[in-house]
Structure 1
Amino acid sequence: MAHAEAAHILQEKFGYDHFRTGQDQAIERVLADENTLVVMPTGGGKSLCYQIPALMLPGLTVVVSPLIALMKDQVDALNDNGIPATFINSSIDFREIDERLRQAAAGEVKLLYVAPERFESEQFVDELNDIKISLLAIDEAHCISQWGHDFRPSYLSLAAVPERLASHPAVIALTATATPRVAQDIRQRLHIPDDGMVNTGFARDNLSFQVVRGQDEDRYLAEYLKLNQDQSGIIYVSTRKEVERLYTFLSRKKLPVTRYHAGMNDAERAQNQEDFLFDRSPIMIATNAFGMGIDKSNVRFVIHAQVPKDLESYYQEAGRAGRDGLPSEAILLFKPADVQLQHFFIEQSDADTAHKHLQYQKLQTMVQYANTDDCLQQFILRYFGQNDTSPCGRCSNCLDQREAVDVTTDAQKVLSCVVRMHERFGKSLVAQVLAGSNVQRIREMRLTELSTYGLMRPQSQKEIATFIDFLTAGGFLAARGGQYPTLSVTPAGVAVLKGEETVHRKTAVRAHQSVSTDDATFEALRLVRRQLAEENKLPPYMIFPDQTLKAMSSEKPQTLMDMLAIKGVGEAKLDKYGQIFLDALNDQAKQTVHAADPNG
């Protein structure tokens, strides 16, 4: 019975006729008052796993969310769907906080979004204890784990919250990025049983991954954005200075860009974020301070113009593309100098030695990802513990038609040099020896006497170092250690040295159009949505996501009942916007007929 009611709410409030994988399982656990961990990729529908139970359970659902922007977006989207929700954070004064707590106690709202820091206040917990709370939902739950890429001390206190609340609510924790170690840590801290995890896997079937190496990044970016300037996208960089540099460079190219970083004042950041959300400036250049709270569903591409600190951060940020399920791209522009920048960040951090060691290892994995010739999606999935997968068939490596060149001889030179250096040194020194460097350290250690000294002299140290990264990513070399990892030859590398195995490597990549936009009806519906968004002061994707407009464009509903059958059109949205979009479809159909027969 509960499942039937949940399915009805899914259709009525959210406009979907069936659950995605794992959603119904998570909802059934929550309704049975069982603690649950939900691991789903970005765009996989995690929020419905607590939003639907919130409408079925008595009392209030409290949602812990790390960012103000995330709260506001989700509350706005829920209210637009006719679901009573509100938030409490530092953007409102104490009188408004009291009013919203009163609304929650009176049953006028079903979901209350709060920041984790709120639970450090005994007064706030006491106020919540006057309210019947049935469920505690913890979003971005990887923040609770010291092994996660975005650990936040304020999340640690959440482990005690269910016991501090008089109603002892069930807990549902949700994340898109959790390695097996992080998932175990979350379960232990929040008392979630081993069989209480709903993990739908990490694959994003609509995302195409691409790595671009050894190119003029500015030129590539300008060409790509010129081809895709009618699409929405995010460009991530590591520093405020690089945000400003790229913003100036791309603005001069007359591209519709805006920017976001912590060095800007609050008003400018807020305005730029709004311009991005409303598609006035569809391309955002930002540091990783931007994005966790952004539910914008029609981001068609995410480009990392500088390498991020680890694969978890990369996958979470890349996953902001294509949340609506439509084909989208995640592109990494890789250059070794960016790795040195991340090394500097780790060295300058306040973390202890053990945590720094962990960060160096994670950065090594990121470098290997950038240099592998294997399927990029598979590389990511293996990192998250998902080993039984096939090549995606969509990433730049799977689709690479360039000829694979036999590089076995060069591989043997590198592997042999590592062996002759007794596997005691790192990439930089090995590359210097092979390039025939004459620096003082090489002479003092008498490495000029090695038979491999200068063996790859026609190539630069940078080229050799990149080739070493390629061999490490391919599993022929292993990099062990923290800040200064040493290289050793793996069993696969030994087979290459013995001539039992060969090594092949594919040899710049041209910018391309990310998605075709030759659908005139879809473009007409986008224009209507944009006008409605401005009138209602809502981001366009909150009116309807691109996926719903695509469905309208292809299925061309004739009546409001037809419109209700479109994926993403619930009853509240139908009442507000249904007739407007039907009229737009009819106008477009008339224009098409007239264009085909102007004398008709």
Structure 2
Amino acid sequence: MTDFSDKYSVLRDFFGHRAFREGQEPVIDALLSGRDALAVMPTGAGKSMCYQIPALMLDGITVVVSPLISLMKDQVNALIQSGVRAAYLNSSLTPAQYEAAIANASRGMYKMIYVAPERLCTASFRNLARQVKISMVAVDEAHCVSQWGQDFRPHYLRIHEFLEQLPYRPTVGAFTATATDQVRQDIVRLLALRDPFCVTTGFDRANLYFGVVHAKDKYTETKAIVRENEGSCGIIYCATRKAVEEVSEKLTADGIPCTRYHAGLSPEERKQNQDDFIYDRVNLIAATNAFGMGIDKSNVSFVIHYNMPKNIENYYQEAGRAGRDGNDAKCILLYSGRDMQTNRFLIENSNENPDLDDETLEKIRERDLYKLRRMSDYCNTSGCLRQFILDYFGEKRKCSCENCSNCSGETELTDITIEAQKILSCVYRLHQRNLRFGAVVVSGILKGSGSQRVKQFGLDTLSTFGIMKDETNTKIRTIIRFLEAEGYLTEGEHSTLMLTRKSAEVLMQKNTVMMRLPKKGRTKRSETAINKEQILGFDKTLFERLRKLRARLAGDAGLPAYTVFNDASLREMCVMMPLTQSAFAEIPGVGKVKQERYGRYFTTEIQKYLREHPEKKNFKPEALGESGSLTDIIKNGAESLQGTDSELSLTQLSDDILTQLGISADKKPLKEAIQSWLINENYLTEKIENGQKKLAATILSEEAGIVEREKLSSINRAYTAVLFPKTAQEFVFENLGEILGS
């Protein structure tokens, strides 16, 4: 029987993990101590674990408030698969099912109840709340309580009312992935959190590649990305139903099966199409942003935004549906100036909250237009895209990520000072005549347009008329948007262009303007696309066999495949090749219930595969005893390792060890183990530099052969690197037994 006083036992026995992720443990400790908590963690960082573990350890029931029916179903199904007694209450249940769930809850049959916010104030649920002990209320997607958040839901404002009417106040935890500082303050105030423990683990998703493509032909670009990631799961977000239909029809006609999802479809077709995607019957779906909010599908490898979203919050949340399994994934935004016009029209003509007064509605429109401009700035910046996102959410950390289209060498800084001076001069000449126009008219003047508006206002007599006639309108407008993003221009009333203090420096030739443009003869996208074989890092044939086994087991139970095991667990099985039940229990994501329920199926399949492919037994896992673990393989092969004359980084050294031993596996755990040991033994230390942890040498580094070298990054920024020459490599090899535990 599980010892519920031990959070580590709960983590291991129910969820199959041996260690907490960053930020989880202090939030769990706060909730267990009875203190309210607010956790802002990126998608995939394990927010749900922060309230699920306390829920299993506290007396009584935990109520989880969630706005998303499909997410409730997924999470409850996953909990049941892990041996947790849980249920959900929402509009998808029939009256009989709802009453049965209420009755079971009142008899103490559940540890967790997921409920839609509008259900909290119903008579039946309030009656239940008076009968049972509610030890904790967890508010998921907590940003929905703020009208300044990207997804305001009025029913969230009634959560505080529900709490006030309980016989006693339970501990309250609030959780979200995307919240600006203002929204975080709203969450604390509107949920009336009491002295909350607040943690923000950061908004960075290091495994996500961010790219912006200024696409002339969006469909051709989309098809190329999909082809490069053939066999992987992907979502294509479109701004309109028409675009969804167009993209899905064209892809299907081109031999790429693609389903669709938008509000214009019947409820039956929406459910069928969503299930086809969730249950891996189809790998690709084109959808409006109504899709995915409640989808916990972990193996999405790429997300394409066919149109620019209205704000960065929505973009980051939608893009964040990629790479939830921790594997590398791509988030590509296809941009055109028309996206800005479409979104501005939608915002200015929106009336999503008819209950609000005119003054509040106007403030919301002003806020939304500001957020739209920031979204456009993201699409036009020459800086690091990841840095832009982190800055937007208030995370003060400098980075050159090398994992976005602006940092990865696909673009190069180009001097556009002359072009900028021409554009700024045109705006200045208009101001001299007390005229204000937007980007379309300004680009027309510079191009030498003979349009009616140009002639009507005598703009063809300006000295700047036609001075960029050899450039395309698209290029001129792209540079204008870039100048806005970089603060050389700003928008006035009715989207007219206005000069700033920075623009004066350019006009007076005191400053140069550099813009990132695609490299001439740049690397083809197919050469830089995600290589699925590289991501998997193991025998693909076995992986596909395990996926089919998972699909069959999930189908028999009527569940999405990833609620049985996610792809990350399957990959570990392919690396570790567990042949016994005890070895299977060591796989991350395998708790006691899943071991008992599925262990024999997967170990039997692996044994069968190895009998059919004896050449795959070169590492002889059966000779390593019952565990057959990757750690044992590395320790037993340490004596055969040889150093290289090159100075290696810690990442390169870890990769080299695995390569020499013929192991295809994620190098991160090995790297972390070596780094931790070197720090504990004082051969290395950590220091904070620009808000980031950096490795540094100590007085004992020389003894281990470790050196520091001055290096230049790809953007010519100097930094100090810790490197391992041949003697340091051999020092690590000699101590691998101790590093990995003797």
Q: Fold match, TM over 0.5?
A: yes
Measured in 2, the distance between the counterparts of 1:550 and 1:88 equals 35
Equivalent position to 2:587, from 557, 560, 566: 566
Match of 2:273 in 1: 272
Q: CA deviation at 1:419?
A: 3.1
Q: Return the letter of the residue paired with 1:407.
A: I
Is the Cα–Cα contact under 8 Å of residues 417 and 506 in structure 2 kept in the other structure?
no
Match of 2:429 in 1: 420
Q: For the structure 1 residues 206 and 94, does the alpha-carbon distance in structure 2 shift closer, same or farther, using more than 3 Å as the test? A: same
Is the Cα–Cα contact under 8 Å of residues 143 and 187 in structure 2 kept in the other structure?
yes
Measured in 2, the distance between the counterparts of 1:16 and 1:581 equals 18
Does 1:487 pair with 2:498? Answer: yes
Q: CA deviation at 1:38?
A: 1.0
Match of 1:577 in 2: 598
Q: CA deviation at 1:424?
A: 4.6
Q: CA deviation at 1:464?
A: 1.1
3-state SS, counterpart of residue 532 of structure 2? coil
Q: For the structure 1 residues 595 and 56, does the alpha-carbon distance in structure 2 shift closer, same or farther, using more than 3 Å as the test? A: closer
Question: % of aligned pairs identical?
Answer: 43
Is the Cα–Cα contact under 8 Å of residues 36 and 195 in structure 2 kept in the other structure?
no
Does 1:365 pair with 2:374? Answer: yes
Is the Cα–Cα contact under 8 Å of residues 134 and 167 in structure 1 kept in the other structure?
no
Is the Cα–Cα contact under 8 Å of residues 108 and 132 in structure 2 kept in the other structure?
no
Q: CA deviation at 1:358?
A: 1.3
Measured in 2, the distance between the counterparts of 1:595 and 1:175 equals 44
Measured in 2, the distance between the counterparts of 1:581 and 1:527 equals 11
3-state SS, counterpart of residue 13 of structure 1? helix
Once the two structures are overlaid, the 10-residue window that deviates more, 69-78 or 185-194, is 185-194
Is the Cα–Cα contact under 8 Å of residues 233 and 299 in structure 1 kept in the other structure?
yes
Measured in 1, the distance between the counterparts of 2:5 and 2:131 equals 32
Matches within 5 A, 1:130-279: 130-192=131-193, 196-279=197-280
Q: Deviations over 1:16-49 (max 9, x none)?
A: 1111111111111111222211101111111011
Q: CA deviation at 1:496?
A: 6.9
Q: Deviations over 1:549-571 (max 9, x none)?
A: 11111122232212211111111
Equivalent position to 2:397, from 388, 399, 404: 388
Equivalent position to 2:443, from 431, 450, 465: 431
Q: Return the letter of the residue paired with 1:562.
A: A
Match of 1:64 in 2: 65
Match of 2:40 in 1: 39
Does 1:522 pair with 2:543? Answer: yes
Measured in 2, the distance between the counterparts of 1:557 and 1:547 equals 15
Q: For the structure 1 residues 35 and 255, does the alpha-carbon distance in structure 2 shift closer, same or farther, using more than 3 Å as the test? A: same
Q: CA deviation at 1:414?
A: 1.7
Is the Cα–Cα contact under 8 Å of residues 610 and 616 in structure 2 kept in the other structure?
no
Matches within 5 A, 1:349-364: 349-350=350-351, 352-364=361-373
Measured in 1, the distance between the counterparts of 2:195 and 2:451 equals 55
Q: Return the letter of the residue paired with 1:569.
A: V
When Rg is computed on C-alpha atoms for both structures, the one with the higher figure is 2
Q: CA deviation at 1:444?
A: 4.0
Q: CA deviation at 1:460?
A: 3.0
Q: For the structure 1 residues 130 and 249, does the alpha-carbon distance in structure 2 shift closer, same or farther, using more than 3 Å as the test? A: same
Q: For the structure 1 residues 288 and 207, does the alpha-carbon distance in structure 2 shift closer, same or farther, using more than 3 Å as the test? A: same
Measured in 2, the distance between the counterparts of 1:485 and 1:290 equals 35
3-state SS, counterpart of residue 203 of structure 1? coil
Q: Deviations over 1:78-137 (max 9, x none)?
A: 001110000111122333222212222222101111111113434532332221111111
Q: Return the letter of the residue paired with 1:434.
A: L
Matches within 5 A, 1:70-81: 70-81=71-82
Does 1:533 pair with 2:545? Answer: no
Equivalent position to 1:441, from 447, 450, 453: 453
Match of 1:462 in 2: 474
Q: CA deviation at 1:435?
A: 2.1
Q: CA deviation at 1:320?
A: 0.4
Q: Deviations over 1:213-237 (max 9, x none)?
A: 1332211222222232311111110
Equivalent residue pairs, number? 595
Does 1:11 pair with 2:12? Answer: yes
Q: Return the letter of the residue paired with 1:516.
A: K
Measured in 2, the distance between the counterparts of 1:232 and 1:526 equals 14
Measured in 2, the distance between the counterparts of 1:55 and 1:13 equals 10
Does 1:590 pair with 2:606? Answer: no
Is the Cα–Cα contact under 8 Å of residues 35 and 196 in structure 2 kept in the other structure?
no
Match of 1:327 in 2: 328
Q: Return the letter of the residue paired with 1:436.
A: G
Q: CA deviation at 1:474?
A: 3.0
Q: Return the letter of the residue paired with 2:465.
A: Y
Does 1:293 pair with 2:304? Answer: no
3-state SS, counterpart of residue 129 of structure 1? helix
Match of 2:637 in 1: none
Q: CA deviation at 1:6?
A: 1.2
Q: For the structure 1 residues 3 and 203, does the alpha-carbon distance in structure 2 shift closer, same or farther, using more than 3 Å as the test? A: farther
Q: For the structure 1 residues 394 and 194, does the alpha-carbon distance in structure 2 shift closer, same or farther, using more than 3 Å as the test? A: farther
Once the two structures are overlaid, the 10-residue window that deviates more, 342-351 or 196-205, is 342-351
Q: For the structure 1 residues 386 and 478, does the alpha-carbon distance in structure 2 shift closer, same or farther, using more than 3 Å as the test? A: farther
Measured in 2, the distance between the counterparts of 1:497 and 1:515 equals 49
Q: Which 5+ residue runs of structure 1 have no aligned equivalent? A: none
Q: CA deviation at 1:206?
A: 0.8
Measured in 2, the distance between the counterparts of 1:273 and 1:293 equals 11
TM-score for both structures, normalised by structure 2: 0.77
Q: Return the letter of the residue paired with 1:452.
A: T
3-state SS, counterpart of residue 44 of structure 1? coil
Measured in 2, the distance between the counterparts of 1:33 and 1:493 equals 57
Q: For the structure 1 residues 275 and 492, does the alpha-carbon distance in structure 2 shift closer, same or farther, using more than 3 Å as the test? A: same
3-state SS, counterpart of residue 421 of structure 1? helix
- State the structure with bigger RCO (CA 8 A, min sep 6), 1 or 2: 1
Matches within 5 A, 1:13-28: 13-28=14-29
Q: Which 5+ residue runs of structure 2 have no aligned equivalent? A: 353-360, 534-538, 619-742
Measured in 1, the distance between the counterparts of 2:351 and 2:616 equals 66
Q: Deviations over 1:124-167 (max 9, x none)?
A: 32332221111111111111111111111111111222111223
Measured in 2, the distance between the counterparts of 1:99 and 1:477 equals 62
Measured in 2, the distance between the counterparts of 1:555 and 1:348 equals 57
Measured in 2, the distance between the counterparts of 1:32 and 1:250 equals 53
Is the Cα–Cα contact under 8 Å of residues 162 and 171 in structure 1 kept in the other structure?
no
3-state SS, counterpart of residue 6 of structure 2? helix
Q: Return the letter of the residue paired with 1:192.
A: L
Q: CA deviation at 1:370?
A: 1.2
3-state SS, counterpart of residue 135 of structure 1? strand
Is the Cα–Cα contact under 8 Å of residues 418 and 489 in structure 1 kept in the other structure?
no
Measured in 2, the distance between the counterparts of 1:323 and 1:51 equals 18
Q: CA deviation at 1:514?
A: 2.6
Measured in 2, the distance between the counterparts of 1:156 and 1:373 equals 40
Measured in 1, the distance between the counterparts of 2:250 and 2:70 equals 28
